Structure 1
Amino acid sequence: MKVLVATEKPFAKIAVDGIRKEVEAVGYELALLEKYTEKQALLDAVKDANAIIIRSDIIDKEVFDAAPNLKIVVRAGAGYDNVDLEAATAHGVCVMNTPGQNSNAVAELVFGMLIMAVRNFYDGKSGTELKGKKLGIHAYGNVGRNVARIAKGIGMDIYAYDAYCPKEVMEADGIKALDSAEELYATCDIVSLHIPATPETKNSINYALVNRLPKNGILVNTARKEVINEAELIQLMDERADLKYITDIMPVANEIFAAKFPGRYFSTPKKMGAQTAEANINAGIAAARQIVGFLRDGCEKFRVNK
């Protein structure tokens, strides 16, 4: 069996070493395609691969067509919208993600950006503290749980809304569970987004919803840029000079946000949530273990396509 690691943004060497150890321990071959700049390099590399480990790399129908022996693709990370699930299913390929491996890294970034925002981006002027603020967690998954854990240590008042997570689960963690996104935004000083990009959620963070934030509200996005209705958020921030938007996913309209809202807007230059040595290692090794579990034992625990 041949396992290909195809990463335009490479794993750290220690992560590759860990992946190699997992793969070669069961007699599989490991191949690396790193820092490639042309899609053709990926198409050539997958021709004889049985499994692929990727990061943010695009795996579409063309890639599946070029990989007749492919059985599984594992996205080292939680999000998997860079993989064409329909094409994967049509080709009989299992797609998995590695939920939870990057969660702490993303959660820590939320607070790194938040502290910067409440201190006015360190412009020398007096800011505010996070302690005592009402934090709303929009989607209580792995990242949301880690955000809640850190927020408790800071002394924040924590609320959450998740259409798919039972209230009892959130309440057992000491979180105040609310009944709707509308209630969450109306209640909290800060809302941290952790929803996936789905047909239901795309553009769902809009004027009407964000306008429910109280005075000096802050919206934090470490989820997906597609969930933000950018035109409506720009309109709202034009009308409300008190709102701030900080994001780990650069908007399509980044230049407009930056020009119109200095001191109220910040975007990382590229998605940084999982960019820690620990998350890099954890996700890569988890991906390798899941491939071995699938190819050797038929384990489909983290399968995301049907």
Structure 2
Amino acid sequence: MTKVLVATEKPFAKAAVDGIRKIVEEAGFELALLEKYTDHNDLIKAVADVDALIVRSDKVTKEVVDAAKNLKIVVRAGAGYDNLDLAACSAKGVVAMNTPGQNSNAVAELAIGMMIYMARNQFQPVSGTEIAGKKIGIHAYGNVGKLVAKYGKGFGMEVFAFDPFVDKAVIENDGVKPVGSIEELYSTCDYVSLHIPANEKTKKSIGYDLLSKMPQGATLVNTARKEVIDEDGLKKVLEERPDFKYATDIMADCHAELVEKFQGRVFATPKKMGAQTKEANVNAGLAAARQIVAYIKNGDTTFQVNK
């Protein structure tokens, strides 16, 4: 019998687990759970006899892949998949997938919420500003970026976007203004919402040169990955510009220093919170289960990320 393991250091909601179980068992598969584990070795041991694996932010390392002798597919329940060792998966013939779009609304709402939070000085009893009438830049116009643009328009913001992989006509059809370069996006917009992945080209790509170009009173909101930020460059901008603010869903390595030096202008959630809604939790888990069933039964590789 095909065995599916849900391995989540930070567990899914009960409704998600119940839904995953229903999908898996109706397909004639067996479901196993590994929740709230504290040692990576527990995951390595648990995958020994599984055919499929569902994870959240759990790290599927080479050691995990090598230990899973029967593994055919691993699905990261969420959009980002930098916690999966794609090279190790490919070497073993394991299909790796993500579940794009399932967490998008949750992340987009958080991005807008952090903009308002920073505009109102973290809800301290002092005069703040409004986001209506301000210019917002969407850096990467994917599932989340499109929703941030939609919500920004709803708040009366003027929306710009940069994404070299998306046709300008698609952006324009959404009532958003495409720009020709990253530099133009940052120099134009009062707020920039960051949605790029972390890879060799993007790591530390957001630093002093870009951030220093932003208008007075600007705010950078990062719900992507901390690795894309050049923290030294960020600190330099914060030091030089008392008007600049930074809000992030991924705590910087130097977060304690930033808060101490730039109190009231830097905010980070205690843990990555973008997908932490009941709805996103359930949606991503169910999508992962359905994708596993579709692959095992029909060979469907629609969301494969290690082609």
TM-score bucket of the superposed structures, by smaller chain? over 0.9
Does residue 286 in structure 1 map to residue 287 in structure 2? Answer: yes
Partner of 1:147: 148
Deviations 1:218-264 (A, max 9, x none): 00000000000001110111011110000000000011111110010
Partner of 1:296: 297
**38-47 vs 101-110, greater mean Cα deviation:** 38-47
How far the C-alpha of 1:184 sits from its partner, in A, is 0.2
Provide the C-alpha distance between the structure 2 equivalents of 1:39 and 1:229, rounded to a whole number of angstroms.
Answer: 29
Provide the C-alpha distance between the structure 1 equivalents of 2:89 and 2:107, rounded to a whole number of angstroms.
Answer: 28
How far the C-alpha of 1:44 sits from its partner, in A, is 1.3
Provide the C-alpha distance between the structure 1 equivalents of 2:211 and 2:39, rounded to a whole number of angstroms.
Answer: 40
Does residue 203 in structure 1 map to residue 204 in structure 2? Answer: yes
Does residue 31 in structure 1 map to residue 32 in structure 2? Answer: yes
How far the C-alpha of 1:73 sits from its partner, in A, is 0.3
Partner of 2:258: 257
Partner of 2:48: 47
Does residue 170 in structure 1 map to residue 171 in structure 2? Answer: yes
Deviations 1:170-216 (A, max 9, x none): 00111000011100001111000000001000000010011110000
Q: Which amino acid aligns with 1:60?
A: T
User: Partner of 2:59: helix, strand, or coil?
Assistant: coil
Unaligned stretches of 5+ in structure 2?
Answer: none
Partner of 1:86: 87
Deviations 1:138-192 (A, max 9, x none): 0000000110111111111000000111111100111000011100001111000
How far the C-alpha of 1:109 sits from its partner, in A, is 0.4
Partner of 1:237: 238
Deviations 1:41-79 (A, max 9, x none): 111110000000000000011001100100000000000
Does residue 69 in structure 1 map to residue 70 in structure 2? Answer: yes
User: Partner of 2:57: helix, strand, or coil?
Assistant: coil
How far the C-alpha of 1:122 sits from its partner, in A, is 1.3
Provide the C-alpha distance between the structure 2 equivalents of 1:221 and 1:236, rounded to a whole number of angstroms.
Answer: 16
Provide the C-alpha distance between the structure 2 equivalents of 1:283 and 1:269, rounded to a whole number of angstroms.
Answer: 22
Partner of 2:105: 104
Partner of 1:4: 5
What percentage of residue pairs aligned between the two structures are identical?
62
Does residue 114 in structure 1 map to residue 133 in structure 2? Answer: no
Q: Which amino acid aligns with 1:254?
A: H
Deviations 1:61-114 (A, max 9, x none): 100110010000000000000010000000110000000000000000011111
User: Partner of 2:234: helix, strand, or coil?
Assistant: helix
Provide the C-alpha distance between the structure 2 equivalents of 1:236 and 1:122, rounded to a whole number of angstroms.
Answer: 23
Provide the C-alpha distance between the structure 1 equivalents of 2:284 and 2:150, rounded to a whole number of angstroms.
Answer: 21
Provide the C-alpha distance between the structure 2 equivalents of 1:198 and 1:89, rounded to a whole number of angstroms.
Answer: 18
Q: Which amino acid aligns with 1:142?
A: N
User: Partner of 2:79: helix, strand, or coil?
Assistant: coil
The equivalences for 1:188-199 within 5 A come to: 188-199=189-200
Provide the C-alpha distance between the structure 1 equivalents of 2:223 and 2:137, rounded to a whole number of angstroms.
Answer: 14
Q: Which amino acid aligns with 1:188?
A: C
Provide the C-alpha distance between the structure 1 equivalents of 2:233 and 2:120, rounded to a whole number of angstroms.
Answer: 26
User: C-alpha root-mean-square deviation of aligned residues, in Å?
Assistant: 0.6
User: Partner of 2:203: helix, strand, or coil?
Assistant: coil
User: Partner of 1:30: helix, strand, or coil?
Assistant: strand
Provide the C-alpha distance between the structure 2 equivalents of 1:40 and 1:252, rounded to a whole number of angstroms.
Answer: 25
Provide the C-alpha distance between the structure 1 equivalents of 2:57 and 2:13, rounded to a whole number of angstroms.
Answer: 15
Provide the C-alpha distance between the structure 2 equivalents of 1:127 and 1:216, rounded to a whole number of angstroms.
Answer: 11
Q: Which amino acid aligns with 2:189?
A: C
The equivalences for 1:210-221 within 5 A come to: 210-221=211-222
Q: Which amino acid aligns with 1:273?
A: G
Provide the C-alpha distance between the structure 2 equivalents of 1:43 and 1:232, rounded to a whole number of angstroms.
Answer: 38
Provide the C-alpha distance between the structure 2 equivalents of 1:236 and 1:145, rounded to a whole number of angstroms.
Answer: 28
How many residues end up aligned between the 2 structures? Answer: 306
Q: What's the TM-score, normalizing by structure 2? A: 0.99
